[in-house]
Structure 1
Amino acid sequence: MDIIKWSEKLMSMDDKSWQRHANPWSVYSRFSALPLISLAFWSREWLGAYALVPILLSLLWVWINPRVFGVPERTDNWASRGTFGERIYLNRHTESIPAHHLRACRVLQALSLAGVPVFIYGLYTLDLATLLLGNLWVMAFKAWFVDRMVWLYMDMKEARPEPEAQ
């Protein structure tokens, strides 16, 4: 199973939402998602069953984030290029991409995914240090993955150019 393709379907990403997600505000604010989800689940200690409200709101933020910001005026930046690279990566089954990028992306995804049990355990036990470690782990490898997507885009933009404002 391709977790990125699955998440794209779950997110209902179309061309318009991808264009909006290329906005740096969308990319950078997306890094708030995991801490917000953490806080929402942690709120079960204070809110009990009402914690469902912040949990649902934090998950809504994950879904709405790529849609809430406008199409960027400029795309000659790290965040936009990372989004373009991710689109190229998502199409890797129909468009060939260099093997060194595939290997690196798979390793980074696996490393990020390896932090999820730490994150979940920290939430389950309400162990702040473990939860922070899980957040940092997942987010650091996600940021590295985005950086790899920039590299992929820069290597592939001649074969598959995206509109890049200057």
Structure 2
Amino acid sequence: MTGKNAAAAVHGMSGETWKRHANPWSVWTRFAAIPAFELAVWSRQWLGWWCLAAVVAVVAWLWLNVRLFEPVEPTGWAARGIYGERLHVDGKVPAEHKTTLNWLIASGLVGFVLIAWGLVALSMWPLTLGTVMVVFAQLWRIDRYGLLFQQHLREQSPDDAI
């Protein structure tokens, strides 16, 4: 099982769940979870171990988020991106997309490492730089996934379904 498949399995991503996650409200509110998680961890300075309650709340939100919103068809930018992400998880990525996606995933991971460093050391500059890297990499990945999805639609026969 790949990392992408494992993450999808942890979230219990079914076909219906993917359609709900494609809702723009789901996509954009997941971005809001990044600073919320960072604040929850940073709050250990003020809250001590009680900060774990805030961390658990953010993690619970991330799990609930992909189930909460109405399912949508891939008509908008964010929805096409999530439908393309599903293709990636399912291993349906043409070679011309793999290199770019791997670079975007790698840059997002570097950003995640910087976030972790900033949170452990309570240092603002790696936290801020890491957050910017993660957000930009994720936005670019969503855009790339949208292109992947559109290419998939052009290439599939009318009888195929994703």
- Please, what TM-score do these two structures have when normalized by structure 1? 0.89
Q: Residue 65 of structure 1 corresponds to which residue in structure 2?
A: 65
In the alignment, residue 79 of structure 1 is paired with which amino acid? A
Q: Map residues 45-84 of structure 1 onto 2, 5 A cutoff.
A: 45-72=45-72, 75-84=74-83
Match status 1:124 vs 2:120: yes
Residue 10 of structure 1, CA deviation:
1.2
Aligned to 1:139: 135
Which of 98, 101, 104 aligns to 1:105? It is: 101
Unaligned runs of 5+ in 1: none
SS at match of 1:31: helix
Paired AA for residue 82 in structure 1:
G
Q: Percent identity among equivalent residues? A: 34
Unaligned runs of 5+ in 2: none
Question: Counterparts of 2:97 and 2:85 in 1: how far apart (Å)?
Answer: 12
CA distance in 1 between counterparts of 2:117 and 2:8 reads 26
Which structure's residues are more often helix, by fraction?
A: 2
Could you say what secondary structure the match of 1:157 adopts? helix
Distance in 1, Cα, partners of 2:32 & 2:10: 19
For 1:4 and 1:87, the matched residues in 2 are separated by 9
| 1-structure distance, mates of 2:25, 2:148 | 21
Q: Is 2:3 the counterpart of 1:3? A: yes
Conserved 8 A contact 2:114-2:130: yes
Opposite residue 146 of structure 1, the aligned amino acid is I
Matched-pair contact (CA < 8 Å) for 2:40–2:54? yes
In 2, the alpha carbon distance for the partners of 1:83 and 1:139 equals 15
The aligned runs of 1:16-55 (5 Å cut-off) are: 16-55=16-55
Instruction: Give the aligned CA root-mean-square deviation in angstroms.
Output: 1.5
> Where in structure 1 do 4 or more consecutive aligned residues deviate above 2 Å?
none
Q: 2:148 aligns with which of 142, 146, 152?
A: 152
Q: Give, as a single letter, the amino acid of the residue that structure 1 aligns with 2:144.
A: R
Q: Number of aligned pairs?
A: 158
Offset, 1:56: 0.3
Distance in 1 (CA, whole Å) between partners of 2:132 and 2:2 is 23
